[in-house]
Amino acid sequence: MAAIVFALVVAGCTSGASTSERSPLERPNILLLVAEDLSSRIGAFGDRTAATPNLDRLASEGVRYPNTFTTAGVCAPSRAALITGVRQTALGAQHMRTGHLHGFRAVPPPDVKAFPELLRRAGYFTFTTQKLDYQFSGPFPGSGPFTIWDQETFSYADWSAAPTGAPFFGLINYGVTHESGLFPVSWPKNAIHAFMLLRSGFGAFSPGETTDPASVEVPPYYPDTPTVRRDIARHYDNIRVMDADVGATLAALDRDGLAASTIVIWTTDHGDGLPRAKRELFDSGIRVPMIVRWPERFRPPGVEPGTMDERLVSFVDLAATILSLAGVTPPAWMDGKVFAGPDAEPPRSYVFASRDRLDEAADRVRAVRDARYKYIRNFSPGTPGYKNLAFRHIQDIADEMRDLHQRGKLDAVQSRWYEPRPEHELYDVRADPHEVVNLADDPAHAATLARMQAALASWMAERPDLGEMPEEEMIEAHWPGFEQPETTAPEIRLSNETDGEIQVDLSARTEGASIGYRVIDGAGNAGPWRVYDGPFRVRVGATIEARAVRYGYAESRVVVAPTV
């Protein structure tokens, strides 16, 4: 569709967000830099193997948040929560991926909007690169609601297209650390591997071997084999490339004289893309590093460069925090808390995470963590946490571990992932950071178990958990007959002609639809697609084009209204 990439649109319904009186000159630019599939393997977070000079410098100039947690151990559900500030289980976005059945796109409640769309409404220019993957979009640019971004690109994008005087928000993705970066360049193991090899040009997976496998730390849940060490070392090689890419972005900010006006946030979309990490609710799957660098003019009082903030941060907090930093009041429907800036709220006591269907494997798990303990509730006890996923088993490390388990060559800790799970798991993450000693049946921890269970139950009762519904039933409820609904075309009303100008009002019948418009002047010159945020005036003789979309629905047709 022509609408997909460069539209400037805002919610046509009530978003619940409001803009403060802060002037454009007082609003910061904001960059959110997101690496893929990466735990805290960064020098500034204490990893001695990592070669990350650019991120280490960013950390020395900013604040580190070592207790940041995603809402899922896999990308699409995690990114759905990130972009909306709402837990994915309340959006119908909990399964990896929603499109696995009937090509379904999640349909959030009508008031829920992606926070970049709210920033556009407040006058920000928004752009993103490489990856969407919000569950009401596909994975790639051009596949989601046209209302969220001014600019979406497959490769590099930057702030240069922002209108003069407009602040910008950019979400830049770094894909080199993705799980697929550990796929072997070899004869394909399956059709997915063949596709990935063709897409990468048979060799883009290899950044060069610079990390000594003998230098890496092998967690106790992995066997210490050459294959395991080689794949972990390769992960560090990919991290080195990602760090250089981040350095190039920061250098471009410096080159353009924007570092002094831009807040930079760097994090990752979930934990390591390795077995027993990605897709799991252990800390290896959901605990991620985060750095926030403040320009001096926007730095809150008492915040010092190079410091560490130990508070618990959830990925649902990013949307609310970024809106707050931009001078936009976060809407009440967001689950997130503002964790940084002048409007920072008190720290959280708990963070929460969930896991549901993973590609071809059904599962349902919920988790809660505080500063010391993690409680995991398995809704399919007696089944293994390990799932035999075709995508995972392209990695040599995954194949070898499964083979060693089948041959009885793994020890008790390494075998546990492949064995039936109990319903309840409790871990002391300070004493047991790898979460290998389950304390749920220990009488000495009965009070802690009860407290954590109560916290999880309270959280689950706050909003409907769509993971409780059979997936087909959930899809049918949003897409009757398993057919994607189409957004009704917006209506254009013209009135109050005075002094050669006429007032334009737009509305949409589809509940929750967002509306965008552009003006074509009398000479036929089309302006950019703009945010609709209430009535506006144009010169008589112009033509108005408008279209609408509700997240998860097909986009409406374009409607046209001449003003002559």
Catalytic residue list:
75
What single-letter DSSP state applies at residue 487?
Answer: P
Is the omega angle on the peptide bond into residue 87 within 30 degrees of 0, that is, cis?
no
Report DSSP state, residue 41: -
Residue 310, token pair as written in the block? 């130990």
In which element (H, E) is residue 428 found?
strand 424-428
User: Which residue, among 194, 204, 169, 185, has the nearest Cα to 83 in the 3D structure?
Assistant: 169
- HEC string of 343-387 equals CCCCCCCCEEEEECCECCECCCEEEEECCCEEEEEECCCCCECCC
Give Cβ neighbours of residue 10 (< 8 Å, ≥ 6 apart): 117, 118, 120, 121, 147, 514, 515, 516, 531, 532, 533
Residue 458: how many CB atoms within 10 A of its CB?
Answer: 11
**Cβ contacts of 12 within 8 Å, gap of 6 or more:** 490, 506, 507, 508, 513, 514, 515, 532, 548
Tell me how far apart the alpha carbons of residues 284 and 435 are, in angstroms, rounded to a whole number.
9
Q: What is the rounded distance in angstroms from the CA atom of residue 562 to the CA atom of residue 362?
A: 53
Radius of gyration of the chain (CA): 24
418 touches 407 (CB < 8 A): no
Q: Is the distance from CB of 456 to CB of 366 less than 8 angstroms? A: yes
Q: Report yes or no: 467 and 96 within 8 Å, Cβ to Cβ.
A: no
